[in-house]
Structure 1
């Protein structure tokens, strides 16, 4: 008990000595604090350093210097480095602890630094030390220096603020205790107003600011903060009187002029906005730090051209402020229309001249976004190039099969044209790939700086997917799941990305987890079916069939909501049975397509055309014509049905005129849809036919022919052995 009592007395004595000693130099300290409140951080820092030089053992001075450093960071988070300024502040607070280890304030400062950096356990340790240096009391009247005791509690409450959020369960009890001890100090109510504002309690926030105002009607701070609340709520008319009152109280209160500049910019009154910004710069004597804050204000006001212009003006005076390339790059990116090349030039300059440890996460993310936007046509260019390559392969096959020199010459011209186009696009794609590699490397570095930033991870994953880097995209979606973002869509994104990247085993694994966790998620079953279809493209193993049957089972619970999923599943099942020549079963699914939606004409025409095809393939010509005519009743201009009817009638008329060496048939995809312009060629011969718009072909083959080679643009070629049959219906799988 003696030790505890002795320590409490020592703490009380220490606090008393601290605050009495600081009062000797109170006037100088108050001047420095006023400079901080006026956002003249450089001048304030110089003043604090002078005070510390005179009174190096007064720990309170170190605390306010550390506060000034942290506030200077939050005044300009674009130009400043959190790591650099928290390091500076920490050094100052540690000096304050060395000056007097019993003063709670510098421990509170250290807790803020740790908390800002995400070091929550370290922050808790420093808060505990601060509390231990605030001696316990039974009655408020027994506290030796209640004003400073309450101030420390309020600052301790403030230490629970991070990223514009606050832990009110910890902060509010401390504030209430502080107000209970001292209800006469405006600064405590200012802190209370700040905390309630972050807690989205505007009424209590304004109430506390008004109390602060009533306690000291000479200070502009509370009016300024009330005005800011109204401005953030876009109630500009209500905000103006508070800013004007702040200026009335202190005509040199620079922040009020800056806020009015922003306000009039938001209102579209740019002349008035510039007038107030001009006054702001006059009051701050046009110094570079003030102008930098002005540039930052312009950026947040979306005055991007003005922001870039002012950066260039600063560079003309002081080129050492490399970090301003950052805001110039951000502004060039955000302006309308964007100036991506200019933004990239500023970012390259920043990365070249700025030490790597001062590069912030936003630099990497903006750099990535600039490069991605600059190359936004990349996915379409890749898609078009792949189409050209398929066209080239098709024309090359035609060239090889051409029988005359004239035909070969015409095809050669097309082949050369396509080859030149592909070469040109592949060169452009190669150039873009270099920049895209840089973009995703920048994203990777941003992620390393903030590994738990879910918004960043999602942004990276989505962009990787959009730029066709599917497997990498899946890995970033998996990182999101590891961080707890594991709703149904997250697993679906992983499965889709692996599916597109042809990593079907991992796709199946992710999608299986999805349907296990969310058994009613239809898209999970749909993508499992798609994955198994891709694993067995010819459907030789039949592994996709039960998966599509499961889609049908689940989706039929709400056939309106999941109509498109049912359509695709029915189409697959119909095509599957069609390929087995089980036309009766195939028609069962095609009729389901017809009856799927009373208002969807596309479903009905595709269904009836598919039904007609089953009858045609089975030489049931009258029924085939009947099905095609039902299509025309729905869509009189349907070319597929019109041409098919003509072909069926020809086949019907020629049924008795079959030539002994003539073969015919239909080329279709796995869903049963006909493929036009497909090549059907007898292996090792020049005998070849091309399918019509309905996917049909017919030609005479040489005696002794052994096999057919069937190919089409965008599909895998297929070899079919020739038997005594004279009808060969062939199904091709997409590449």
Structure 2
């Protein structure tokens, strides 16, 4: 009987050790971003012991990492009823509260998690610090405050130092972050993420050569650590953005490293979506379309796949698929729609409405497209202007001036745009040229007045832009506003004269000066003959054979 008891105790110890090992395996899988593997391990632990609150908490965390809040809530709730690690699940609910902007509720949950802690317990503080750090609405200073409480208890805890490094990094305190990461790796040299984060600091400082060297050191220690290849991919991508001449070389390296990351993590739908997000960022739309189609095979109903299909189809010229995919995605109220969704949908409709040559425009579809692009601009007024400008320029080049003007109207709404001056110039030109078409019976005064305002914005921001004065004068001439016509033609002549003899000697400039003098003279003809004669004589000083000036002078005399 005693022998049986001894064997039973030994067996229980082995089982307990096995379970602990399983949790450690799950932790390693989470750190390695092998989330599907971690979920399998944690679910097996919960199936074997449904009251394991620690496993439920970690499983909830994995679902949070995968943006599946509903599943996370289920496991946090299950974990609260556990017999071990139950209090940790309050932190999970606190994280959800932080994401929802309910700080008071989060603090109540965190208080429940830390109530009656033993003096040497710091795990709860570490997870609370991480919650403040990784929330959708982070509070890095609060995270540092909580983690420093734990540091007073045990400053030599590696995970604590790693968490502090992340909080300081989020708070843009590079020196403290470096110190914390270094301490974490010194305390536990198996904590390879801490060493990797030293490279992340360098990446954030745009020290790309040094960052890649740091990541290569991590690979030398453990070539199978997946996250380091993701960091390499992002570093090469950013490096390419900062050195346009080498963009293609670096982006190709980025794509290779991201593929390596996938092979070392998992090829689940979730990881494929992370890959798709990176392909969108890198502008690799052929690869994105291939990835989207692979995701359809895995899950035909996941709505985010429609976004990737829509974006890639638009970029690859398949506008019908783009429109169908994005309209279906946007129509689902459960989906989190972003500005890019509306913008891409609008651009796809514009392409379809205009066609390749712009000779047969579907005006109803175009007008509908403009509503989508406006919606995108309202959602993200600062992030989309350059793309809008590109679309407007293509319409302008097709001589679809009315349509180009509608696009440029959206672009100039963002006064912070780098293209603000040029967009206003093209807006003015689009409206002007649309009112000088051969089939125009009578110019639209409202459109021309808007053109005048657009040219005014150019002149205010860039007073030396000579053609803005010229076109503003032409616009006012169409509006039959003689006073302003003369003023802006004079301004044009003054600006080009200030630029010196070289500018004045250009045949194109001479032609425009003659236009300025002749039109100003014609404007004066009915009110001030002396001025009209003066301006026609200025023309003849430049071009003694100018027929219009010669004949006009005869009629004036």
Q: CA deviation at 1:135?
A: 4.2
Aligned to 2:336: 360
Q: 1:47 and 2:21 equivalent?
A: no
Matched-pair contact (CA < 8 Å) for 1:611–1:624: yes
Cα distance in structure 1, aligned partners of 2:463 and 2:254 = 57
2:119 is matched with: 144
Q: Is structure 2 residue 506 aligned with structure 1 residue 599?
A: no
Structure 1: give runs of 5+ residues left out of the alignment. Answer: 1-21, 74-84, 137-141, 382-424, 501-529, 536-543, 580-584, 653-735
Shift in Å, 1:217: 0.3
Change (3 A) 1:324 1:636: same
Q: Which has the larger share of strand?
A: 1
1:215 deviates by 1.4
Note the 1:83-482 alignment, pairs <5 A.
Answer: 85-99=68-82, 105-116=88-99, 119-120=100-101, 122-131=102-111, 133-135=113-115, 143-158=118-133, 161-162=135-136, 166-260=138-232, 268=249, 280-284=261-265, 290=271, 293-313=274-294, 315=296, 323-333=304-314, 338-341=315-318, 344-345=320-321, 348-349=324-325, 352=328, 356-362=332-338, 364-371=341-348, 374=351, 428-430=360-362, 432-434=363-365, 436-437=367-368, 440-441=371-372, 444=375, 454-455=381-382
Task: State the 1:307 CA deviation.
Answer: 3.4
Shift of 1:259: 3.9
Contact 2:370 2:406 in 1 (8 A): no
Indicate conservation of the 8 Å contact 2:514/2:539, yes or no: yes
The DSSP-based 3-state class of the residue aligned with 1:162 is coil
Rounded Cα–Cα distance in structure 2 between residues aligned with 1:107 and 1:453:
35
Question: Residues 605, 199 of structure 1: CA spacing in aligned structure 2 closer, same or farther, 3 A cutoff?
Answer: farther
- Structure 2 residue runs without a partner (length 5+): 1-15, 241-245, 393-401, 432-444
Q: Secondary structure in 2 aligned to 1:130?
A: helix
Partner Cα distance (2:30, 2:522) in 1 = 82
The answer to whether residue 31 in structure 2 is matched with residue 37 in structure 1 is yes
| Structure-2 residue corresponding to 1:648 | 553
The answer as to whether partners of 1:443 and 1:460 remain within 8 angstroms in 2 is no
CA RMSD for the aligned pairs? 5.5
SS in 1 for 2:345: helix
1:677 matched residue in structure 2: none
Work out the CA distance in 2 between the residues paired with 1:224 and 1:60.
27
Q: 2:54 aligns with which of 50, 57, 60?
A: 60
Deviation at 1:295, TM superposition (A): 4.7
Give the CA deviation at 1:353.
8.5
**SS of match in other structure, 1:429:** coil
- 1:441-486: per-residue Cα shift (whole Å, max 9, x none)? 5865x79xxx87554798999999976569x969x96xx99xxx9x
Rounded Cα–Cα distance in structure 2 between residues aligned with 1:435 and 1:611:
39
**Partner residue in 1 for 2:437:** none
Shift of the 593–183 alpha-carbon distance from structure 1 to 2, 3 Å rule, reads closer
- Checking the alignment, whether the CA contact within 8 Å between 1:210 and 1:222 is kept in structure 2 is yes
Counterpart contact for 1:103–1:130, Cα < 8 Å:
no
Distance 1:561 1:373, change over 3 A: closer
What is the Cα deviation at residue 25 of structure 1? Answer: 4.0
TM-score of the superposition, structure 2-length normalised? 0.66
Distance in 1 of aligned mates of 2:174 and 2:448 = 56
CA separation of 1:147 and 1:531: change in aligned 2, threshold 3 A: same
TM-score of the pair, normalised by structure 1: 0.52
- Equivalents in 1 of 2:344, 2:523: separation in Å? 56
Name the SS of the counterpart of 1:340 in structure 2: coil
Once residues 263 and 474 of structure 2 are traced to their aligned partners in structure 1, the CA distance between those partners, rounded to angstroms, is 74
Q: Deviations over 1:686-734 (max 9, x none)?
A: xxxxxxxxxxxxxxxxxxxxxxxxxxxxxxxxxxxxxxxxxxxxxxxxx
Q: 1:124 to 1:456 in 2, by over 3 A?
A: farther
Per the alignment, do residues 316 and 610 of structure 1 end up closer, same or farther by CA in structure 2, a change over 3 Å counting?
closer
- C-alpha distance in 2 between matches for 1:531 and 1:188: 65
Q: Is the 1:45–1:68 contact (alpha carbons within 8 Å) kept by the matching residues of 2?
A: yes
Larger of the two Rg values belongs to structure: 1
Seen in structure 2, the aligned counterparts of structure 1 residues 233 and 144 have a Cα distance that, compared at 3 Å, is closer
Q: 1:218 to 1:354 in 2, by over 3 A?
A: same
Within 2, Cα distance between the matches of 1:144 and 1:274?
48
Q: How many residues align?
A: 485
Shift of 1:41: 0.9
Q: Could you tell me whether the CA contact under 8 Å between 2:230 and 2:257 is conserved in 1?
A: yes
How far off its partner does 1:154 sit?
2.1
Q: 1:192 to 1:375 in 2, by over 3 A?
A: farther
Quote the residue 1:15 is aligned against.
Answer: none
Among candidates 526, 531, 540, match of residue 632 of structure 1: 540
CA contact (8 A) 2:64 2:72 kept: yes
Deviation at 1:269, TM superposition (A): 6.4
CA distance in structure 2 between the aligned counterparts of 1:441 and 1:100, rounded to whole angstroms: 53
Relative to 1, partners in 2 of residues 1:605 and 1:155: Cα closer, same or farther, differing over 3 Å? same
Instruction: Provide the rounded CA distance (Å) in 2 between the counterparts of 1:567 and 1:467.
Output: 17
Alpha-carbon shift at residue 233 of structure 1 (Å): 4.7
Name the CA shift for 1:586/1:175 in 2 (closer, same or farther; >3 Å): closer
